Amino acid sequence: MTAAKIDLPVHRIRAYMEPGPIVLVTSAHDGERNVMTMGWHLVMEFSPSLIGCVIAGGNHSFDLVRASGECVINIPTVSMVDAVVGIGNSSGRDVDKFAHFGLATDRAVEVAAPLLRDCHANLECRIFDDALVDRYNFFILEVVRAHVARTPKNPETLHYTGDGVFVRAGRTISRRADFRPALLGNGR
């Protein structure tokens, strides 16, 4: 039987549409570095590898990403949930979040922003197009280098639904045989 539906206030649709995973964005500029939590991002293109994301103008990270033109998108898993929440509820203007949250870092290859060692994946990014930054705080980034852990195969990434609640990933359903090649990543 189909469940009855309610009339949901449109400002609450995020819980249904939120993509994932929650990521930690590291940035660096002029001798300073920072990290913020981010949920509002989307994949826009395979090649070049483009990601769109919103970084609110009031965030310290906004200034560092905009000024340097670079950042790293780090993908944490459930074991980092406390850091994810803490990093997203404090500002690099007030605190050194790397020291405060005990974040181990590694040097990136293409950009100045650091990689977060304990994250499952680290995507080094450069701003590809800033046309929508002034209007929407929307950055279009190109992933120029990607470091990903070989295991686990299905990492338990965190997906935010608002109101302090996360959904954890980890189980997969494959329908690969039913997909057109073009929808599986540029046909490769």
Ligand X SMILES: Cc1cc2nc3c(=O)[nH]c(=O)nc-3n(C[C@H](O)[C@H](O)[C@H](O)COP(=O)(O)O)c2cc1C
- Residue 120 lies near ligand X (rule: CB under 6 A): no
- Residue 26 lies near ligand X (rule: CB under 6 A): no
Q: Which of 51, 49, 65, 47 is nearest to 21 (CA)?
A: 51
- Minimum gap (Å) between residue 111 Cβ and ligand X: 17
- Whether 115 and 108 have beta carbons less than 8 Å apart is answered as yes
- Minimum gap (Å) between residue 46 Cβ and ligand X: 22
CA of 88: how far to CAs of 6, 84, 107, in Å? 31, 6, 22
Which position's Cβ is nearest ligand X? 88
Report the alpha-carbon distance of residue 94 to residue 24 in Å, rounded. 18
Q: Which distant-in-sequence residues (6+ apart) come within 8 Å of 176 by Cβ?
A: 184
- Residue 76 lies near ligand X (rule: CB under 6 A): no
Q: Which is nearer to ligand X, 7 or 134 (CB)?
A: 134
Select the residue interacting with ligand X from 37, 49, 122, 157 (CB under 6 A).
37
- Residue 88 lies near ligand X (rule: CB under 6 A): yes
What is the binding site for ligand X (CB under 6 A)?
22, 34, 36-40, 54-56, 59-61, 85, 88-93, 160
